[in-house]
């Protein structure tokens, strides 16, 4: 009987992650994954049975990886202003490290929302429990503009993520080097922090 070791399993998963991030589910074949892992298709299928099974395992891992530090920030005993700044910083570092990750997640959720919604639902539930109450309290006390978490999160994430999703376009359009793009992205992140915090939080007037 064919035997697959733990190291072989991890090698296949890492290869699959690389290929899925680059090509997506629809554009990836079992042969692509086997070749990236330097293994034959039979050995790859022996453990994971199908491309679909392997894909959902990779998707869950990547989605959990994307969400875990965000949820830790939400649960911290700090002000909502500090949470939002940390969230922007965390998302920025994530995009810098894994620029194709968000594009992959958005594309696959758009492709098959019914199959992938359970993962999103758990994130949404934790988001509302940890963030919505704190936002509501700030609004009631007159320290924050009236905004729902449903509007706040796309406002933050969209403003930051598009910079990296459109990285190649931005670099071509402005004839920018890698270093110049990194400087641009850092400056853009600081602008987002400034614009969002200055808009959302109401300054106390001194009488």
- Could you tell me which residues are beta bridge partners of residue 144? 201
Who's near 194: CB < 8 A, 6+ residues apart? none
Q: What is the mean pLDDT of the chain?
A: 87
Look at residues 124, 170, 174, 172 and name the one whose alpha carbon lies nearest to residue 149: 124
Who's near 170: CB < 8 A, 6+ residues apart? 163, 176, 181, 184
At 39 the pLDDT is: 86
CA distances 182 to 53, 167, 171, 176, 201, Å, are: 36, 10, 10, 10, 29
Phi, psi values for residue 178, rounded to 5°: -60, -45
pTM, full prediction: 0.83
pLDDT at residue 2 tops 60: no
More confident residue, 140 or 99: 140
Which residue ranges make up each domain of the chain? Answer: 1-49, 56-200
At 126 the pLDDT is: 73
Instruction: Give the pLDDT confidence of 4-34 residue by residue, as tens digits.
Output: 555 888 888 999 999 999 999 999 998 999 9
- Could you confirm whether domain 1-49 is CATH 1.20.120.160? no
Instruction: Give the pLDDT confidence of 43-99 residue by residue, as tens digits.
Output: 787 767 788 889 999 998 998 888 888 888 988 999 999 999 999 999 999 988 888
| Residues 25, 103 contacting (CB under 8 angstroms) | no
At 204 the pLDDT is: 54
At 70 the pLDDT is: 86
For the chain, the 3-state helix, strand and coil shares in percent, each to the nearest 5, are 80, 0, 20
Q: What superfamily does domain 56-200 belong to in CATH?
A: Tetracycline Repressor, domain 2 (1.10.357.10)
**Fold match between domain 1-49 and domain 56-200:** no
């Amino acid at each position: 009987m064919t035997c697959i070791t733990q190291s072989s399993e991890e090698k296949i998963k890492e290869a699959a992650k690389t290929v899925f991030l680059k090509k997506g589910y629809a554009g990836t074949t079992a042969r692509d994954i086997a070749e990236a892992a330097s293994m034959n298709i039979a050995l790859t299928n022996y453990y994971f049975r199908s491309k679909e099974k392997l894909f959902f395992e990779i998707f869950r891992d990547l989605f959990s990886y994307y969400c875990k530090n965000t949820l830790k920030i939400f649960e911290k005993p700090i002000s909502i202003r500090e949470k939002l700044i940390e969230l922007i910083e965390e998302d920025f570092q994530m995009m810098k490290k894994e620029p194709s990750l968000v594009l992959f997640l958005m594309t696959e959720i758009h492709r098959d929302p019914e199959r992938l919604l359970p993962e999103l639902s758990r994130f949404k539930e934790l988001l509302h429990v940890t963030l919505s109450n704190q936002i509501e309290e700030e609004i009631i006390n007159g320290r924050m503009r009236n905004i729902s978490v449903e509007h706040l999160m796309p406002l933050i994430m969209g403003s930051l993520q598009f910079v990296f999703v459109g990285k190649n376009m931005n670099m071509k359009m402005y004839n920018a080097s890698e270093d110049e793009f990194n400087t641009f992205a850092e400056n853009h992140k600081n602008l987002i922090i400034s614009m969002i915090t200055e808009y959302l939080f109401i300054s106390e007037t001194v009488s």
